[in-house]
Structure 1
Amino acid sequence: MTRLNLLLIEDHAGIARQVATFFDGLHWQLDHAATGALGVQLATGNIYDVVLLDLNLPDIDGLQVCRAIKAGAPSNVPILMLTARDAYEDKARGFHGGADDYLTKPFDLRELALRCEALARRSQLHVHQEMRVGPLLLLAREGRAMYGEVPLALTHSGFKILLLLCREHPHAVSRSALSAHLWGSEPPDSDALKSHIYALRKQLDAAGCTGLLVTIPQLGYRLAIELDSRAGQ
């Protein structure tokens, strides 16, 4: 089995111990958060292959935690929802909230491990470790970006916006697509994306990349790099 780096957000101490013991036997790395707040903090500050998320947390609803991780994590980490709820409506809410897979409690730890491997493998197929558009280089797993030899100091949201623009270059990306990329099916108010675009432009300006992000009227945004020399590995 491939060695994975995982985050478990689960308030039930017994379940957390069982998962930790089983994964330790596989030589996998597991961080544990007993609250949603700590889970979001860990997920947005570290790189994980998969996040295991309990839907019923004591402080924050699991779906809110899921959306916060999808919006703030430095890479598009897959999320496996863990819950005792097995009704179709509950599963639909989980998937619509941004979950990538769903496992009902009680579960077989061997199946949990298989699902984690599958999610991590699928994620690697869709996310390039390295993406380049002209002089712009994005290191997706590390959440870092360079323009030529200049490092770009980006927020998590700014990096995610830039990552999508790189993937779609030389085409423009619509506002609705960017909103879905950042927040899933429940974006905040209509000015939120404008605020993030404004902040990203400021971050690019500070690195001497003025004019890199351009607005396409009636559509959205694109990168002002005419030569498409993307390379991924």
Structure 2
Amino acid sequence: MKVLIIEDDADIATNLFDYLEGSGFDVDIASNGTAGLQLALTQHWEAILLDLSLPGVDGLTICRKLREEARRDTPVLMLTAKDTLDDKLEGFVHGADDYLVKPFSLKEVGARLHALIKRYKGQVTQASLCCADVRFDLATLTVERAGRPVKLPPKCLQLLRILMQSPNRVFGRAELEADIWGEQLPDSDTLRAHVYTLRRALTADGKDDLIETVHGLGYRFVDSDADAS
């Protein structure tokens, strides 16, 4: 998922970049409003992290130009030190989708980005996920592979849902652990154990393994049809 950070504070920008890149995002940074606006308008992004106070062009102007002039609906998470209700309302009026006040938790940034991107893709109200020969009914929380029911414990269901919502994308270990367990992070081998359980359930009857370990990075759900489309 491509994310643009428009932030003039080098320390904040670097922390965001390192955390999001480590969580599997494809990240770029603009250190001023002029460069940020140019990147926002000329490339495709799945979300933009936008500081309010920027040199060159301020964040509100960037957001307004993105919405009113370029007619882009890219999700925008606004970052600012201003915390009054009027400041927040002004951000929303100019087209921001969400708002975080500095200082903020990097985990919260990641969680809010995922929520924004899922809503943007229509995945919040999606009835089911279908990748390769696996179908995940989100209403009943039932899984089938090639028409055969697959029994999974709750955490494995959460893991499978995350992987299937973005097939072929590599999810970092830290990102998956934060999405599944939140602030109550598990022991170091817990995620690996759940991946093993998920694999074993999906590969019953000799089926191919669809969960790929990308060494040094994380895991992904392999779906060749998604690449072809």
Post-superposition offset of 1:71: 3.5
The answer on whether the counterparts of 2:66 and 2:72 sit within 8 Å (CA) in structure 1 is: no
Equivalence for 1:63: 60
Counterpart among 25, 28, 36 of residue 28 in structure 1: 25
The answer to whether the aligner puts 1:123 opposite 2:120 as a matched pair is yes
The answer to whether the aligner puts 1:112 opposite 2:109 as a matched pair is yes
SS state at 1:125 partner: coil
Alignment of 1:167-186 (within 5 A): none
Amino acid at match of 1:24: E
Equivalence for 2:89: 92
Runs ≥4 in structure 1, deviation > 6 angstroms? none
C-alpha distance after superposition, 1:76-101 (max 9, x if no partner) = 10111000111001001000011000
State the alpha-carbon separation in 2 of the partners of residues 22 and 90 from structure 1: 27
The answer to whether the aligner puts 1:76 opposite 2:73 as a matched pair is yes
RMSD between aligned residues: 1.8
Post-superposition offset of 1:45: 0.8
Post-superposition offset of 1:62: 1.3
- Compared with structure 1, are the counterparts of its residues 73 and 26 closer, same or farther at alpha carbon in structure 2 (3 Å cutoff)? farther
Post-superposition offset of 1:27: 1.8
Give me the identity figure in percent. Answer: 43
Unaligned runs of 5+ in 1: 127-232
State the alpha-carbon separation in 1 of the partners of residues 110 and 70 from structure 2: 22
Alignment of 1:1-233 (within 5 A): 4-73=1-70, 75-125=72-122
State the alpha-carbon separation in 1 of the partners of residues 86 and 71 from structure 2: 30
SS state at 2:41 partner: helix
Amino acid at match of 1:125: G
State the alpha-carbon separation in 1 of the partners of residues 40 and 57 from structure 2: 15
State the alpha-carbon separation in 2 of the partners of residues 101 and 65 from structure 1: 15
- Compared with structure 1, are the counterparts of its residues 112 and 8 closer, same or farther at alpha carbon in structure 2 (3 Å cutoff)? same
C-alpha distance after superposition, 1:173-194 (max 9, x if no partner) = xxxxxxxxxxxxxxxxxxxxxx
Post-superposition offset of 1:115: 0.3
C-alpha distance after superposition, 1:6-27 (max 9, x if no partner) = 0000000000100011012112
TM (norm. structure 2) is 0.52
Amino acid at match of 1:45: T
TM (norm. structure 1) is 0.51
